[in-house]
Amino acid sequence: MGHVSMQYPAGWTKEERDNFLFGNGVSNVVTFFPQGGVNNPGRHNQNNYHTYVAIAIDPHPDRTLSEYLQSTIQGYESLKDFSLVDASTSGHLSGQPAYTLVYYDNGLNVPSKSLEIGTFVGSKVYYFEYQADPGVNN
């Protein structure tokens, strides 16, 4: 994998570690969040974020882009107050076909709206996720 860089607002914090408890082999590469973006810091350096941008890698998707999107939606349906806004495989990320997913949930008892976009790079899925308060322009 080549070098990846990303600009982010001054005042945001960057955490370069796997700080999500996915439990399914997905690795979180980096998380960016604003001051006040952490809700109830968890145990063992695990944080619950209510506003963030994250980059993650799924090393073994073993399905097509469309199947991956459907599987992702099914996984998120268990989130509290999950509501699908939009899902598509017609997006592009770095010139590659990509899936996009927009949804609302209340998974950490904090209402949020999320946008996820991902693409295959070799045999892995790389995706970006942005989550914020639904009142934020997103």
Q: Which helix (H) or strand (E) holds 58?
A: strand 52-58
Ramachandran class of 93: left when φ > 0, alpha when ψ lies in -120 to 50, beta otherwise: beta
Q: Cα(134)–Cα(131) distance, rounded to whole angstroms? A: 9
* More confident call, 35 vs 126: 126
| AA letter at 134 | P
Q: Residue 119 corresponds to which tokens in the numbers above?
A: 């693409």
CB 118 within 8 A of CB 93: yes
Query: At residue 44, does pLDDT exceed 50?
Result: no
Query: At residue 39, does pLDDT exceed 60?
Result: no
The residues pairing with 127 across neighbouring beta strands, listed in sequence order, are 56, 118
Return the pLDDT at 109: 73
